[in-house]
Amino acid sequence: MMKQRIRITGLLVALVALAACSPNAATDTGGAEANLDTVTVYKTEACGCCLKWVDHLKANAFAVEVVNVDSTAPTREKYGVPPNLMSCHTGIVDDYWVEGHVPADLVKRLITEKPDNILGISAPGMPMGSPGMEGPRPVTFDVIAYHTDGTTSVYATREGKETVE
């Protein structure tokens, strides 16, 4: 009887350990970090590069909610994105807006540092080589911070990437 209890207990311990190491375990993230905050992305339905940016965020441990809209202009107006920083989609995370093809590591930096003098960051336009816009002839591009006083500054500068296949 005692040997049977020890075997059952040992089996249960082994099963619990196996479950904790399982690829389907709740804590497993497939080698990525645990999910960060959810980014809500407002985009037009037809925009394919926006979906590539969504994939980029997901690949970098963000949960993403996509909201297809007829026009992204009302979203930008609601959150105060200035015209000179506009792009094709707007992401909202925590209390910040993220306009266009901003690299995920800079979104992580923004929500980790939580600067109180920044309303949002942008990769203005659609820089060739930015996440979701990879392709021939990538460019060096600036990600711009928009401050609460209406000024801007360079948040980071990045080298664009060519098409990933």
Task: Indicate the pLDDT class of residue 31, thresholds 50, 70 and 90.
Answer: very low
Residue 4: per-residue pLDDT: 46
Task: Indicate the pLDDT class of residue 164, thresholds 50, 70 and 90.
Answer: low
Domain boundaries, the chain: 33-159
133-163 pLDDT per residue, tens: 998 999 999 999 999 999 999 999 999 998 7
- What CA–CA distances, in Å, run from 33 to 16, 64, 78, 115, 131? 23, 15, 31, 22, 19
pLDDT at 16 over 50: no
Q: Which one is the CATH code of 33-159: 3.10.130.10, 3.40.50.620, 3.40.30.10, 3.40.50.2300?
A: 3.40.30.10
106-127 pLDDT per residue, tens: 999 999 999 999 999 999 999 9
Q: Which of the two residues, 81 and 47, has the higher pLDDT score?
A: 81
Specify the 3-state DSSP secondary structure of 92. strand
- What CA–CA distances, in Å, run from 22 to 11, 27, 50, 61? 16, 9, 33, 19
Residue 37: per-residue pLDDT: 84
